[in-house]
Structure 1
């Protein structure tokens, strides 16, 4: 078994700096997360208000495409409507 040297004592200034930076990072993360959550909630609310109009527009576009495809198929099959 290898003989290990005694651990080096870390300066109190370095310990304080490490803990201070860790605390600062955690507090910044909490603040930033809170700010982003509020922004996302506002965007989600706007999206929910616009959803019915957007879905109606998409349904109308799908209907137009389906009608166009049906007419193309009828023309290709030689069916006169």
Structure 2
């Protein structure tokens, strides 16, 4: 096997900078996630209300289409 050189000692300033950026990234991610979660919750609430209206409208349209189809079939059978 090849002889490996001893690891290079990293400057404490560089270590501090790395850990600081890691911590800031975690805090930013938590803040960003919290903000997006609130937006999504509001969107889901509005979507839930609209979904009920849309489902009722689709059910009514489906009922009308079914009745029309039955009438057409009865007219063809006569």
Q: How high is the TM-score relative to the length of structure 2?
A: 0.78
Consecutive aligned runs of 4 or more in structure 1 exceeding 3 Å deviation: 67-75
Q: In structure 2, list runs of 5 or more residues that go unmatched.
A: none
Q: Which residue is 1:79 aligned to?
A: 77
Q: Which residue is 2:35 aligned to?
A: 35
Q: Which residue is 1:51 aligned to?
A: 51
Question: CA offset at residue 30 of structure 1?
Answer: 0.2
User: SS state of the match for residue 7, structure 1?
Assistant: coil
By relative contact order (CA 8 Å, sep 6+), the higher-ranking structure is 1
Which moved further from structure 2: 31-40 or 44-53?
44-53
Q: In structure 1, list runs of 5 or more residues that go unmatched.
A: none
How far apart, CA to CA, are the structure 1 residues paired with 2:74 and 2:16? 80
How far apart, CA to CA, are the structure 2 residues paired with 1:5 and 1:40? 52
Q: How high is the TM-score relative to the length of structure 1?
A: 0.76
Alignment coverage as a number of residue pairs: 78
User: SS state of the match for residue 4, structure 2?
Assistant: coil
Question: CA offset at residue 36 of structure 1?
Answer: 0.7
The Cα RMSD (Å) is 1.9
